[in-house]
Chains A and B, each alone.
Chain A
Amino acid sequence: MRLNLTVNGKLYETDEVWEGESLLHTLRERLGLPGSKNACEQGECGSCTVYLDDVPVCSCMVAAGQAEGCSVRTVEGLADGERLDTVQQSFLDAGAVQCGFCTPGLLVQAHDLIERNPEPTDAEIRESLAGNLCRCTGYEKIMDAVRLAAQRKAVS
């Protein structure tokens, strides 16, 4: 089937999308956007988190056809050109990236948290990131990074 959707501000029209495929598959394999990671394919890990019409979702559990006419923002759409988003820079500066596989999903989810809640408590950060698994288990640095990003956004 044909699918029309906007990803990171750019309109895509793509053919031969399989009716049962996930939005994640479409993004990675058809649109050349491999930032969103494919790990569990069952919503357990959060590595595929993207914004779908401004709401963070696991793209592995969205049927591609459900995104027809929608606006998707992936990890590739967080930076402004060469300039990283505050959340991305904070993950680098806090040492919150180890193997990096969980990072794209965490970035999108943390980005949404700070947009909605500019001064999250530790409990709110943990709750917000509860669906994002890091198997390097670098959670303390990830907490540091989200706190740092919130502080930086508050003063900017």
Chain B
Amino acid sequence: MDFIRAASLDDALAIKAQRPDITPIAGGTDLMVGINFDHTRPSGLLDLTSVPELAEWSESSGVIRLGAGVPYARIISELGEHLPGLAMAARTVASPQIRNRGTVGGNLATASPSGDAHPALLACGAEVELASVRGTRRMPVAEFFTSVKRNAAEPDELVTAVHLARATGPQQFAKVGTRNAMVISVCAFSVALHPERAEVGTGFGSAAPTPRRAADAEEFLSGELTSRGMWDDPRPLPDTVITRFGELVAAAAAPIDDVRGTASYRRHALGVLARRTAGWTWDEYLTGRQTCA
């Protein structure tokens, strides 16, 4: 094994092009567990914590470019207003020490179905930025997850950023676990209202081989809000609408039984999370008051 510290993004991309087998390391909160326990033995490590370009975020025309190496702690302290759904998800990640280190870029590269950032990224319609010496490309996060812990990055590419529109409406994130910290989610759900285009975004985790959107539920809720004229004239959301939204989210799941929960529990709990978070976002749209799990 060798260890290479990239001095710049160009340096990192050149090394990844020459050594597509090398494993990038940022916060190390997933990778180092595998190395410590001898579950994984990479041929080499490419340290990205020394790349300044990855550790910054910026805003341009209402779109946030979040560098892949910005730790969760900074998303919470600096981006809670711009990206409330992602900041809520970040608050549920592990512990303070791990939030000081772990990154959204690492979450994406690992591509676990239980990655906490993923539901919020899906609900926001985020795009993943991938770079190599061949150039830079962007893809919708929904297309990035290909199967369990697999993603669409080519061997010479690095995840360099995510692009997310600054929130224009309420967003929520909730997850089920055995305690309030250090929890790999049993299931997780995020919802975002996009009033400027009369759309609803969703994302869920730990309830299918990859993080997914619940497209039928999105279409149903946005259709109800539009046909009832409620985007412009918000009134309390009928229980029947919230119930149906929860059913459609649960129907989009394809969970399995494992040590953290059964498939049927996950499907049920996901529907509950969907109903609750939809209710919270709509209450905030009505009253301007934010609720948090």
Chain A: residues with CB nearer than 8 A to chain B?
1, 18-20, 22, 41-44, 46, 49, 55-58, 60-63, 65-66, 68, 109, 127-128, 130-132
Bound CA span A118–B94, Å: 24
20 contacts between A and B (CB under 8 A): A1-B3, A19-B44, A20-B1, A22-B35, A22-B36, A42-B36, A43-B29, A43-B95, A43-B98, A49-B97, A56-B97, A56-B100, A57-B100, A58-B101, A61-B101, A63-B25, A65-B5, A65-B47, A130-B96, A131-B95
Pick from A63, A127, A131: contact of B94, CB below 8 A: A131
As a 0/1 sequence over residues 22 to 62 of chain B, the CB contacts with chain A under 8 angstroms (1 = contact) are: 00010111001101110001101101011000000000000
- List residues of chain A with CB within 8 A of the CB of B44: 19
Give 10 nearest A-B pairs by CB, closest first: A131-B95, A130-B181, A19-B3, A65-B3, A41-B36, A61-B32, A42-B33, A19-B1, A20-B35, A61-B28
B258 at interface, CB cutoff 8 A: no
B47 engages A66 (CB within 8 Å): yes
Known A-B contacts A130-B182, A131-B182; the reply to A43 vs B97 at CB < 8 A is: yes
Minimum distance in angstroms from A108 CB to a CB of chain B: 9
Bound CA span A60–B29, Å: 9
- List residues of chain A with CB within 8 A of the CB of B32: 22, 60-63
B2 at interface, CB cutoff 8 A: yes
- List residues of chain B with CB within 8 A of the CB of A55: 100
Residue of B nearest to A56 (CB): B97
Bound CA span A43–B98, Å: 7
Bound CA span A126–B96, Å: 11
B180 at interface, CB cutoff 8 A: yes
- List residues of chain B with CB within 8 A of the CB of A128: 96
B36 engages A46 (CB within 8 Å): no
Residue of A nearest to B99 (CB): A131
Residue of A nearest to B179 (CB): A130
Residue of B nearest to A49 (CB): B97
- List residues of chain A with CB within 8 A of the CB of B36: 22, 41-42, 60
Known A-B contacts A42-B37, A43-B33; the reply to A20 vs B28 at CB < 8 A is: no
Known A-B contacts A20-B35, A20-B41, A131-B182; the reply to A62 vs B101 at CB < 8 A is: yes
